[in-house]
Amino acid sequence: MRPLQTNDDVELLAFVKESDAAAFEVLYNRYWDKVLDLAYHKTGDLMEAENIVQDVFVSLWKRRETLEIKGNFSNYLFVSVKYRVLKVLARQSSVRMVSIDLAHDLLDDSTQGHLEFDEIRGRLEELVSQLPETCRLIYQLRNEDKTYKEIATQLNLSEKAVDAHLLRARRKLRIELGDFMSLFLL
């Protein structure tokens, strides 16, 4: 039997669905630092970032038997953390969510939370599909954890050009999602 660390995410998730704590630990160790870095970058507070990431993983474990992840697990995880960061930032600035009680965990089993998460993810995918081809491709490759250098090599661009396209894509998405998110905020 090969060590679990050599399994890909899809295989590990299948094991997790069967309550395999060791497989969950491999996923946890594989992504903890990456999603913590994202949460810390967005919040600027290491303790809050750790709480966010821990909450996401606890929620995943609690929902392991019914969890259906369509697509890339790392993308799902990053979107989950980003969504949780939005909730924390909204709470910190005393902004109330229109259809969700602030005490409600957005990643629990509630139907409303999942519907809103899916709606935001769907809107993000729609906005990404509307980006100019090069921006869209660079954004997607970066979300697959490709480095600037790898993307530049693959697309025959300079790293500076990759950075400029990515900055342009993120700025457009931030503006468009900001307008969309304002529908959820009071």
For residue 42, count other CB atoms closer than 10 A to its CB: 18
| Residues 32 and 114 occupy one common structural domain | no
| Residues 13 and 37 occupy one common structural domain | yes
Q: Which two tokens stand for residue 154?
A: 């693959």
pLDDT (0 to 100) of residue 114: 52
| Residues 24 and 82 occupy one common structural domain | yes
Give the three-state DSSP class for 185: strand
Q: Which sign does the torsion angle of CA 114, 120, 124, 130 carry?
A: positive
Of 78, 95, 112, the position where a domain reaches its end is 95
| Residues 60 and 89 occupy one common structural domain | yes
Of 95, 128, 147, the position where a domain reaches its end is 95
Instruction: Kindly report the CATH number assigned to the domain that includes residue 71.
Output: 1.10.1740.10
| Residues 1 and 91 occupy one common structural domain | yes
| Residues 139 and 177 occupy one common structural domain | yes
Closest CA to 160 of 169, 151, 170: 151
Q: How far apart are CA 90 and CA 185, in angstroms?
A: 8
How do the pLDDT tens digits run along the chain, 186 residues long? Answer: 457 777 788 888 889 889 889 988 999 999 999 989 988 888 888 898 899 899 989 988 998 888 888 778 888 888 888 888 888 777 765 444 444 444 444 444 444 555 566 677 777 788 888 888 888 888 888 877 788 888 889 889 898 988 888 888 888 877 777 765 655 443
pLDDT (0 to 100) of residue 50: 92
Q: How many domains does the chain have?
A: 2
| Residues 16 and 89 occupy one common structural domain | yes
| Residues 124 and 170 occupy one common structural domain | yes
Q: How far apart are CA 12 and CA 182, in angstroms?
A: 37
Q: What is the domain range of residue 144?
A: 102-186
Q: Which sign does the torsion angle of CA 94, 172, 111, 98 carry?
A: positive
Does the predicted TM-score (pTM) go above 0.75? no
Instruction: Kindly report the CATH number assigned to the domain that includes residue 158.
Output: 1.10.10.10
| Residues 28 and 114 occupy one common structural domain | no
Type of residue found at 99? S
Q: How far apart are CA 165 and CA 106, in angstroms?
A: 32
| Residues 88 and 139 occupy one common structural domain | no
Q: How far apart are CA 72 and CA 140, in angstroms?
A: 12
| Residues 6 and 79 occupy one common structural domain | yes
| Residues 2 and 91 occupy one common structural domain | yes
